[in-house]
């Protein structure tokens, strides 16, 4: 055990985590020249296309230090705030973390929030100053920032460049010397923590675990504590670029397990694996339950695909434990699921993965957050509102509380004005303004979560020219004046387009929704009125004009009454069509409601 080191890499987006992981693999000879490529651990096409890490990736390296052979288990983590649950799970499986900071961009919001996660788990932090070879790098100033943040010595900060390979050897030496070896009882009953899993269509569920006590052998009878089910360990092994089967995985090490489980619901991330005959008495403290921030409905385009969508979601949930879903139905869209996500990027990625990995074409409804409503009849009883249609009638409603967050934005001093006005427009209240350096400011706001769900992040990047970083934590619920805005198409309510909005914004957003839908809904043989309404009161209206045939073309000359008769006949036909006509809503219309400011 004293030759094992488990560590992860944490940093803000684009500070060079994946590139640093590539260099460490190169330096330790874990990859051959033929296997080398950029972002080696990002195995998903989506990750490569977007240049972001979505999943944590575990890999084992062997390294000789002072004549001794060490086993290094590395986990590369995502940097985006929407995937922070991946980071927290990776941290739980490690004893140390490399905190990577970009020498040109300095410390950003996500750097700080990931650092706190690591400190809560008592990890040994090794600060790494990356990209020192850039012309715009400012190593002295950024080193001072890191020293202020961590309270460490300036000599402990390792200058490096993942691109050119500067400082890689120093990093490996620091990992071996500073990160503590795993502790655990070798002779105790097996106790292992599941920190990730993936579905393999041929072999069933592959479970990634870290052994805390005891050891796990091939062919052993094991038990999952949370589900209380027994399995046979068909194969255990270590995670290299490919899986390497082994006879036994011992205390402190990380590996994978294949038991042939075909049902995705039987494996829970955070569960404990133990021996079936000699089980452990205490389960490993798993991860706290994920708190979804954004809710949206996902429906199959064809209602017959409902069961197929369910099994796809279960398999996806194995690989992404922060996805939460429950069945629901909608009058406009049929049967589907109400899903909880950690943010808008997470929602987008899940939708893409369903389409790419499972060939499921889905419709996503307008995202919203979870509210608490209270009725006049019983003012203390909470009515949970995940969907605008759950909101009680206005006459019965006493009050509504909405979730608030504490938003931390770090930006350049030049952009403080535009960032503040954006946050105030989104109903934010400034609570603190701190100058970290003469150039960089940290702003804290209390704002409603619902306001940051849609386009806040994109607009923040625009007003700050890409220089603002953003992180948030929930701070509970507060009372707000909210109303439900319904969208009526051809006088029938489309429940999938309803939204809960603040009274002050309801009129503007209702009007914009109608204008946007007018552009997107194709013209039919009859007029389509598009209306936004609060209760019975219509607050905005647009009309998609009918396609009309020129019925008077064959009349030339003669009395005007001949033309009028033909037009009246056409008008009656249009009126009858409008009564029986059905309006098809394109998928773009559901998504366009989110981008009202474009």
* Model confidence pLDDT, tens digit, residues 468-494: 777 777 888 888 888 888 888 878 887
Report yes or no on 424 lying in a domain. yes
- Collapsing DSSP to helix, strand or coil, 82 comes out as helix
Nearest to 296 by CA among 229, 396, 235, 370: 370
Q: C-alpha distances in angstroms, 579 versus 248, 490, 491?
A: 71, 9, 10
Specify whether 415 is located in the same domain as 512.
no
Whether 41 has a pLDDT exceeding 70, the answer reads no
Specify whether 546 is located in the same domain as 427.
no
Specify whether 174 is located in the same domain as 211.
no
Report yes or no on 283 lying in a domain. no
* CATH number of the domain enclosing 421: 3.30.70.240
Between CA 415 and CA 562 the distance in angstroms is 68
* CATH number of the domain enclosing 360: 3.30.70.870
* CATH number of the domain enclosing 54: 3.40.50.300
Specify whether 360 is located in the same domain as 375.
no
Whether 193 has a pLDDT exceeding 60, the answer reads yes
Q: What is the structure's pLDDT at 526?
A: 77
Specify whether 66 is located in the same domain as 147.
yes
Report yes or no on 153 lying in a domain. yes
| Binding-site residues from annotation for GTP | 14-19, 130-133
Report yes or no on 497 lying in a domain. no
Report yes or no on 55 lying in a domain. yes
Specify whether 30 is located in the same domain as 112.
yes
Q: C-alpha distances in angstroms, 311 versus 133, 199, 468?
A: 48, 11, 39
Residues 199-235 have pLDDT tens digits of 878 888 888 888 888 888 888 888 887 777 888 888 8
Residues 124-165 have pLDDT tens digits of 888 888 888 888 878 888 888 888 877 777 788 888 887 887
* CATH number of the domain enclosing 267: 2.40.30.10
Nearest to 250 by CA among 283, 284, 288, 209: 209
Residues 499-532 have pLDDT tens digits of 788 888 888 888 888 888 888 888 877 788 888 9
Nearest to 61 by CA among 322, 241, 294: 241
**Domain end position, chosen among 275, 308, 331:** 275
- Count of domains observed in the chain: 5
Specify whether 351 is located in the same domain as 406.
no
Q: What is the structure's pLDDT at 302?
A: 79
The per-residue DSSP string of 440-466 comes to EEEEEEEEEHHHHHTTHHHHHHHHTTT
Give the domain extent around 97.
Answer: 4-178
Token pair belonging to 468: 């603002």
**Domain end position, chosen among 480, 499, 526:** 480
**Domain end position, chosen among 243, 275, 307:** 275
């Amino acid at each position: 055990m004293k030759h094992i080191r488990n560590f992860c890499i944490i940093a803000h987006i684009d500070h060079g985590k994946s590139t640093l992981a590539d260099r460490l693999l190169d330096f330790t000879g874990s990859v051959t020249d033929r296997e080398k490529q950029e972002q080696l651990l990002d195995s998903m096409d989506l990750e490569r296309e977007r240049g972001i890490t979505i999943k944590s990736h575990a890999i084992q390296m062997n390294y000789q230090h002072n004549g001794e052979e060490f086993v290094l288990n590395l986990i590369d983590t995502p940097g985006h705030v929407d995937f922070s649950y991946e980071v927290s799970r990776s941290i739980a499986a490690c004893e140390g973390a490399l905190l990577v900071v970009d020498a040109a961009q300095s410390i950003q919001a996500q750097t700080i929030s990931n650092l706190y996660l690591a400190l809560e788990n008592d990890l040994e932090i090794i600060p790494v100053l990356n990209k020192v070879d850039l012309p715009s790098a400012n190593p002295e100033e950024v080193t001072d920032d890191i020293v202020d943040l961590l309270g460490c010595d300036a000599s402990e900060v390792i200058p490096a460049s993942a691109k050119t390979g500067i400082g890689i050897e120093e990093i490996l030496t620091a990992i071996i010397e500073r990160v503590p070896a795993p502790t655990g009882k070798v002779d105790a009953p097996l106790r292992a923590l599941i920190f990730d899993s993936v579905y393999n269509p041929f072999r069933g569920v592959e479970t990634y675990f870290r052994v805390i006590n005891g050891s796990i052998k091939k062919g052993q009878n094991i038990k999952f504590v949370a589900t209380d089910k027994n399995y046979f360990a068909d194969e255990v092994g270590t995670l290299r670029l490919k899986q390497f089967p082994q006879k036994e995985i011992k205390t402190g090490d990380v590996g994978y397990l294949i038991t042939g489980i075909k049902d995705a619901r039987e494996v829970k991330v955070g569960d404990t694996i133990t021996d079936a005959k000699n089980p452990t008495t205490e389960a490993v403290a798993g991860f706290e339950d994920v708190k979804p921030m954004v809710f949206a409905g996902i429906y199959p385009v064809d209602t017959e695909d409902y069961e197929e969508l369910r099994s796809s979601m279960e398999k996806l949930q194995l690989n992404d434990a922060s996805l939460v879903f429950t069945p629901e139905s909608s009058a406009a869209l049929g049967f589907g699921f109400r899903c909880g996500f950690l943010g808008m990027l997470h929602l987008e990625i899940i939708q893409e993965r369903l389409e790419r990995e499972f060939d499921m074409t889905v419709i996503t409804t307008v995202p919203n957050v979870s509210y608490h409503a209270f009725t006049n009849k019983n003012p203390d009883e909470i009515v949970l509102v995940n969907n605008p249609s759950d909101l009680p009638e206005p006459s019965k409603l006493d009050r509504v509380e909405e979730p608030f967050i504490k938003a931390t934005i770090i930006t350049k001093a030049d952009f403080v004005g535009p960032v503040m006005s954006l946050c105030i427009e989104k109903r934010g209240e400034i609570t603190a303004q701190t100058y970290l350096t003469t150039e960089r400011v940290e702003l804290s706001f209390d704002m409603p979560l619902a306001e940051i769900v849609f386009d806040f992040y994109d607009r923040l990047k625009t007003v700050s020219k890409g220089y603002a970083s953003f992180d948030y934590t929930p701070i509970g619920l507060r009372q707000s004046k909210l109303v439900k805005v319904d969208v009526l198409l051809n006088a029938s309510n489309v429940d999938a387009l309803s939204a809960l909005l603040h009274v002050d914004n309801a009129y503007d957003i209702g009007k914009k929704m109608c204008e946007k839908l007018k552009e997107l809904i194709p013209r039919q043989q009859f007029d389509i009125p598009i209306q936004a309404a609060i209760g019975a009161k219509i607050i905005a209206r647009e009309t998609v004009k009918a396609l009309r045939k020129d019925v008077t073309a064959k009349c030339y000359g003669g009395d005007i009454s001949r033309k009028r008769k033909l037009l009246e006949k056409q008008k009656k036909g249009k009126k009858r069509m409008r009564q029986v006509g059905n309006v098809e809503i394109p998928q773009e219309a559901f998504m366009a409601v989110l981008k009202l400011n474009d």
